[in-house]
Amino acid sequence: MIAPLMTAFVLGYLLGSIPFGVLLTKFSGTQDIRTIGSGNIGATNVLRTGRKGLAAVTLIGDMLKGTAAVLIASALWGRNPALVAALGAFAGHVFPVWLRFKGGKGVATYIGIWIGFAWMAALVFGVVWALVAAITRYSSLSGLIASLATLAYIWWQGDRDLALLSLGLTIALMLTHRANIARLLQGTESKIGA
């Protein structure tokens, strides 16, 4: 059983480490995404280039790599390896080997993982994110509140394994957003469209 779990984690990690934001901005002739805004490789920072379409494609790519990790591992080895692949995909996005382990914050990949496991959880995330973003215009705050709402929804569903995965991923999201949380508390966090 150890071999499928390890293989699933590596599969998830390799998929998760594909840096869509970096690749898409490079191929489109935009400057290196890591040199502007927050320096992050995710869709929110790609949006700061003014290329909305590029940001949307980055978001979709970062989501689908989480979905792919879950679905492929599930089809090949079953549910437990799929849970491990999900962790691998998240870790790969946050710590991609190709970028010296400096990646994104994991929100899109988090959503993609839930598309693979429980699409209603991904829908809960999206609805809550949109509502909070419309009210506050803070992408980071929207993601954090939406992840807590998703965690609550998954726990309410009663699936212990998914609930534990959700708890772990939500804590990980909080950790990747430490600087954002500090800026929110200080009132210096950038708003969407700024």
pLDDT in tens, 41-79: 888 788 777 788 888 999 999 999 999 999 999 999 999
Tokens standing for residue 136: 């506050």
* CB-based burial label for 192 (10 Å; 0-12, 13-18, 19+): middle
How many angstroms separate the Cα of 115 from the Cα of each of 63, 112, 126? 8, 5, 11
The model scores a pTM over 0.95: no
Chain segment 30-43, per-residue pLDDT in tens: 878 887 777 788 88
Q: What's the confidence (pLDDT) of residue 11? A: 97
Chain segment 94-152, per-residue pLDDT in tens: 999 999 999 999 999 999 999 999 999 999 999 999 999 999 999 899 999 999 999 99
Positive or negative, the Cα torsion across 60, 66, 71, 72? positive
Q: Which of 58, 61, 53, 57 is nearest to 42 (CA)?
A: 58
Amino acid at 166: S
Q: What's the confidence (pLDDT) of residue 194? A: 64
User: For the residues 3-29, what does the mean pLDDT come to?
Assistant: 93
Query: Rounded to whole angstroms, how far apart are CA atoms 132 and 145?
Result: 8
User: For the residues 13-26, what does the mean pLDDT come to?
Assistant: 93
Terminal C-alpha separation, the chain: 49
